Chains A and B, each alone.
Chain A
Amino acid sequence: MGAGHGHVLYRESDSPVHRLPPEVKIVAMVVFTIAVVATPRTAFWAFGAYAVLVAVVAALARVGPRWLLSRALIELPFVVFAVALPFLGSGDRVEVLGLRLSEDGLHGAWNILAKGTLGVLASLLLAATTTTRDLIVGLDRLHCPQVFTQIATFMLRYLDVLVGEARRMRVARISRGDDPRFLWQLRGFAAGIGALFLRAFERGERVYLAMLSRGYTGRMPAAWQSEGAATTGQWLVAATVPVVAASIAATAVVLS
């Protein structure tokens, strides 16, 4: 396959998690996240249990904790809001380290931090064990509309085209005596952004026409050849994670 090099997050390996069909992993990940979000925020033990579950899957997928945690920093800007909540929230105030903080706000901050982190870890595990091409095949097998998977396929394909064109234009600028450094290249970039778009489109159009002439009809062969589609056994194996997560959530709801 002429797969691109856009698999920044994919970790080549042959673990049991890697071998699972993509559609199974997508469903498991979505159900797991919904179970986490549905858990009452004061059920602290439940979040510990979810973390253990994530750690077990990561170990099975041979994804190291260091890789996982450093990539999880992506959520940092999203939790800035969480830090502000204890100061903004209303209701009862509690004294923490000499600061009068809103109790509701503290709980809210914990809620965002715990649920956000678990969600990010779950999607990182999916990304580490599934190539982007397989992800689209999985969505297709889950009966995602074809218009949708088609746009997604082209998006992932054209990302490489776009990055490649941007690099070529930058080399062209430098070879004509431009000296791009940090912020100063922004001006050159802004001036060239329309040209970049057109160049990428014309390349992308050629890619598309080449695909059409080779028999492309809107779906990738891997999707309509049912080869490699999930078996009942694989569904059952992958169901363990969401089922455990759902029972933890149910217990937490009942107990609270």
Chain B
Amino acid sequence: METLAMHISNGIIDGPVAAIFAALALAALTVCVLRGRRDLDDRLAPMAGLVAAFIFAVQMLNFPIFTAGVSGHLLGGALAAILVGPWVGALCVAVVLVVQALIFGDGGVAMLGLNITNMALLGTAAAYVLIAVLLRVLPRTRAGLAVTAFVAATLSVVVASQGFVLEYWLGGTTDLGNNLTGLAGTMAGVHLLIGIGEGLITATTVLTVAKVRPDLVYALRSLRTPAAPAVPVAGGAR
């Protein structure tokens, strides 16, 4: 039941609700394109591509969850938000979803608006809000960054899963009656488990990048003190 939240396939949510969410997603992505264009410089362009490729690869790995009889995968919204910022980050996840829908049939094309709303918009936005708050509250140490990445990734997955419950409540093609609360509970529980896996991967990746190339981490840019004078690469005459 879980994979649904990640990739809603054709026919699960009815047409009008899908169309409303498609319009919503289109409007939000337009804002992301306008804001993201400003962010996308020579350093961020390859990073955005790699983040998207990384998310694409990682979404193919499925976590089997035996107790619930379902499997789920990672979302990558938090990783994208930390490394390339909320605007370009949401675009990265959206690109992954569009390519998956067009050529892999992963999630219906007609349901693209719903999928983008859940995973690219809700997931990334929730992650970025958490990151912005936690980075200010927590000590600026490696542990602080790790906790931030872990918490943001875990909770963003749960938030994205509840987006599906909301959409199902609005326009599910089959009336579940009172089972809807059950659906919400199952989704939240299962996604908490997936979120922990996502949190661990996000935290390790972000920590490594922050250690070796802190200049690549978007979320740390605004907090950093002015960069120390660069060490000359080639030694000149002294």
Interface residues of A (CB under 8 A from B): 9, 26, 29-30, 33-34, 36-38, 41, 72, 74-75, 77-81, 84-85, 88-91, 102, 104-105, 107-109, 111-116, 118-124, 126-127, 130, 132, 135, 145, 147-148, 150-159, 161-163, 190-191, 193-195, 197-198, 200-201, 204-205, 207-208, 212
Give A142 to B173 CA distance when docked, in angstroms. 32
Central interface residue in B33, B36, B174, B175, by most chain A CB within 10 Å: B174
> Told that A119-B109, A201-B213 touch, could you supply 5 new A-B pairs with CB distance under 8 A?
A77-B3, A119-B105, A154-B52, A161-B53, A197-B50
| Shortest Cβ distance from A157 into B: residue | B49
User: Which of A89, A154, A161 makes the CB contact (< 8 A) with B45?
Assistant: A154
> At the interface, yes or no: B37 with Cβ under 8 Å from chain A?
yes
Within the complex, the shortest CB–CB distance from A119 to chain B, in Å, comes to 4
The interface residues of chain A lying within 8 Å CB-to-CB of B10 are 33, 36-37, 112, 115-116, 118-119
> At the interface, yes or no: B78 with Cβ under 8 Å from chain A?
no
Give A124 to B109 CA distance when docked, in angstroms. 12
- What does DSSP make chain A's interface, helix, strand, loop or mixed? helix
> At the interface, yes or no: B179 with Cβ under 8 Å from chain A?
yes
The interface residues of chain B lying within 8 Å CB-to-CB of A72 are 105
Given contacts A77-B71, A124-B105, contact A194 B110 (CB under 8 A): no
Counting from the closest, the 5 A-B pairs by CB-CB distance are A154-B49, A194-B208, A108-B174, A115-B11, A90-B177
Give A20 to B9 CA distance when docked, in angstroms. 27
The interface residues of chain A lying within 8 Å CB-to-CB of B27 are none
Central interface residue in B53, B57, B177, by most chain A CB within 10 Å: B53
Within the complex, the shortest CB–CB distance from B73 to chain A, in Å, comes to 10
B174-224 contacts to A (CB < 8 Å):
174-179, 200-201, 204-209, 212-213, 216
**Stretch touching chain A among B91-99, B136-144, B152-160:** B91-99
Interface residues of B (CB under 8 A from A): 1, 3-4, 7, 9-12, 15, 18, 33, 36-37, 40, 42, 45-50, 52-54, 56-57, 62, 69-71, 88, 91-92, 94-96, 98-99, 101-111, 173-179, 200-201, 204-209, 212-213, 216
The interface residues of chain A lying within 8 Å CB-to-CB of B176 are 88-90
The interface residues of chain B lying within 8 Å CB-to-CB of A29 are 102, 109
B50 close to A201 (CB less than 8 A)? yes
- What does DSSP make chain B's interface, helix, strand, loop or mixed? helix
A152 close to B50 (CB less than 8 A)? no
B208 close to A198 (CB less than 8 A)? yes
A158 close to B49 (CB less than 8 A)? yes
The interface residues of chain A lying within 8 Å CB-to-CB of B53 are 154-159, 161-162, 200
The interface residues of chain A lying within 8 Å CB-to-CB of B3 are 77-78, 80-81
The interface residues of chain A lying within 8 Å CB-to-CB of B173 are 41, 108, 111-112
The interface residues of chain B lying within 8 Å CB-to-CB of A111 are 11, 173-174
